[in-house]
């Protein structure tokens, strides 16, 4: 393996790579863009799909006590009255009378002054900040064909409430009893005052949430269980443990519904930031919806007659923030034969493309054989074919998108039907029979893996 100096990773490098290699583009770019709104390109779509797949694997395939849901983005408006979002889902907002910009009052130290970006708002004599006031972050719209006669509704700010509204359905059709969970992935919308840090904080994003319903006396132990499970998910997919921590919320940080919350945080640019929250929501949500709907939302044990409102433990993460974390943690730079290389050392399960097929030259029957190999491989894994440019440049392109293996078709391949299988991280090259290639790649894909950035 080449020496890996571990050049400092910066958000600027990640943003540049994402645009250069088609992971993420600014939305509406031909019109000047729309603040903190992004479109995901081909490799971004593939990476996000792999993140979702691994989350669903952890929730459904590896467990017997969780079921899936896909609830509506627009819920009955009384949902948000019951949940407390209409009253409590707000951030403190301040305006600067000098530059006209708005800032979160509790994030001033992370913001840039409109006149002097090297300073924070309020740090210069010219700054004239208003008193903080609450700003509700829900996007409001009208339900119905005529705006004046329609009812006011909201784009959901979280997926959790759709789960609570369906709790009774799952008790009936899925014949579930606590402890059990309901999981879903879906778009949510928050009118953030100051969205920032690329795709880390945006106004439209995708959540991965699971509500785990438990007997009240078991809530604390299940909270511990899910903190352990969720932290292990990140490290299992290659995130370096020394860049993760689990931090319990102080009492003044807790949401109105939470009795205990801990965040899994990642170290970005020397600053710890939340990746995922694991909250003990108690019975707040089910009781609130029962009160506002007039429906009973409780579990009744048919054998004993015992009835109770379950407590809820909620792990909640974001697809966009997870994508940024995996990219940031995987980004690396090294040098090969005097040439600088940028490489994404992504876990193979997350890599957008698993294998690329490359004919060494575009003649002598190599492209034809390479196309045949590619056609066989893409039925088994996400694969690409590339015959444009020098072989070294083609390797570098694939290194930058995190492709773990490259298959090279050369003159020998035509003689003995073997190929060179190159490893992204070790740069090792093995000779493999074409007939065994698909099995070998699937074997490597299933094999234990840890980030080369952790050392041998």
- Residue 194: per-residue pLDDT: 63
Rounded to whole angstroms, what are the CA distances from 386 to 107, 127, 371, 378, 405?
Answer: 46, 55, 10, 13, 13
**pLDDT mean across residues, the chain:** 90
Q: What is the pLDDT of residues 95-135, one digit of tens each?
A: 787 887 767 666 677 777 777 777 778 888 888 777 766 66
Rounded to whole angstroms, what are the CA distances from 110 to 99, 113, 268, 269?
Answer: 17, 10, 13, 13
- Residue 350: per-residue pLDDT: 98
- Residue 62: per-residue pLDDT: 97
- For range 427-451, the mean pLDDT: 96
172-181, 366-375, 399-408: least confidently modelled range: 172-181
The structure's pTM equals 0.88
- Residue 309: per-residue pLDDT: 97
Please report where in the chains the tokens 């691994």 appear, as a residue: 54
Which residues fall within 8 angstroms of residue 149, CB to CB, at 6 or more apart?
none
Strongest mean pLDDT among 34-38, 87-91, 229-233:
229-233
Residue-range domains of the chain with CATH: 11-80+142-328 (3.30.930.10), 91-136 (no CATH), 353-454 (3.40.50.800)
Q: How far apart are CA 268 and CA 249, in angstroms?
A: 19
Check whether 143 has a pLDDT greater than 80: yes
Of the candidates 299, 318, 315, the residue with the CA atom closest to the CA atom of residue 307? 299
Please give the sequence-ordered ranges of beta strands (E in DSSP) within 190-270, or none if there are none.
204-214, 244-248, 260-268
Rounded to whole angstroms, what are the CA distances from 264 to 67, 234, 238, 272?
Answer: 24, 9, 15, 10
Q: What is the pLDDT of residues 368-405, one digit of tens each?
A: 999 999 999 999 999 999 999 999 999 999 999 999 99
Q: What is the pLDDT of residues 231-281, one digit of tens each?
A: 999 999 999 999 999 999 988 777 767 788 999 999 998 889 999 999 999
């Amino acid at each position: 393996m080449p020496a890996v100096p571990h050049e400092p990773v910066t958000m600027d490098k990640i943003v540049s790579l994402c645009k250069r290699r088609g992971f993420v583009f600014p939305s509406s770019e031909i019109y000047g863009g729309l603040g903190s709104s992004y479109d995901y390109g081909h490799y971004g779509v593939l990476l996000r799909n792999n993140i979702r797949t691994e989350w669903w694997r952890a929730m459904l395939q590896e467990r017997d006590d969780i079921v899936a849901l896909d609830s509506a983005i627009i819920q009955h408006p009384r949902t948000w009255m019951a949940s407390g979002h209409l009253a409590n889902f707000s951030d403190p907002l301040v305006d600067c009378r000098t530059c006209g910009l708005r800032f979160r009052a509790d994030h001033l130290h992370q913001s840039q002054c409109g006149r002097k970006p090297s300073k924070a708002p309020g740090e210069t004599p010219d700054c004239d900040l208003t008193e903080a006031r609450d700003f509700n972050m829900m996007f409001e719209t009208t339900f119905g064909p005529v705006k004046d006669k329609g009812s006011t509704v909201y784009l959901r700010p979280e997926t959790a409430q759709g789960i609570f509204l369906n709790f009774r359905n799952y008790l009936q059709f899925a014949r579930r009893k606590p402890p059990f969970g309901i999981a879903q992935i879906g778009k949510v919308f928050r009118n953030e005052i100051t969205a920032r840090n690329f795709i880390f904080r945006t106004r439209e994003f995708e959540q991965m949430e699971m509500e785990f319903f438990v007997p009240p006396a078991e809530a604390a132990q299940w909270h511990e269980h899910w903190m352990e499970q969720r932290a292990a998910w990140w490290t299992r997919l290659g995130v370096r443990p020394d860049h993760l921590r689990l931090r319990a919320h102080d009492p003044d940080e807790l949401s109105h519904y939470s009795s205990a919350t801990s965040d899994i945080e990642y170290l970005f640019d020397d600053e710890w930031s939340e990746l995922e929250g694991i909250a003990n929501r108690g019975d707040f949500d089910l009781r609130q919806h029962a009160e506002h709907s007039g429906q009973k939302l409780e579990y009744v044990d048919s054998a004993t007659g015992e009835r109770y409102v379950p407590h809820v433990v909620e792990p909640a993460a974001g697809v966009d923030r997870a994508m940024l974390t995996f990219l940031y943690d995987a980004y690396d730079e090294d040098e090969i034969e005097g040439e600088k290389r940028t490489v994404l050392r992504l876990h193979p399960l997350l890599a957008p493309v698993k294998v690329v097929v490359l004919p060494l030259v575009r003649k002598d029957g190599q492209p034809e054989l390479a196309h045949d190999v590619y056609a066989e491989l893409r039925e088994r894994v996400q694969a690409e074919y590339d015959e444009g440019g020098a072989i070294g440049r083609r390797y570098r392109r694939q290194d930058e998108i995190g492709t773990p293996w490259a298959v090279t078709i050369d003159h020998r391949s035509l003689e003995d039907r073997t190929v060179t299988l190159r490893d992204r991280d070790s740069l090792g090259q093995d000779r493999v029979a074409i007939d065994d290639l698909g099995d070998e790649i699937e074997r490597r894909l299933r094999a234990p893996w840890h980030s080369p950035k952790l050392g041998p």
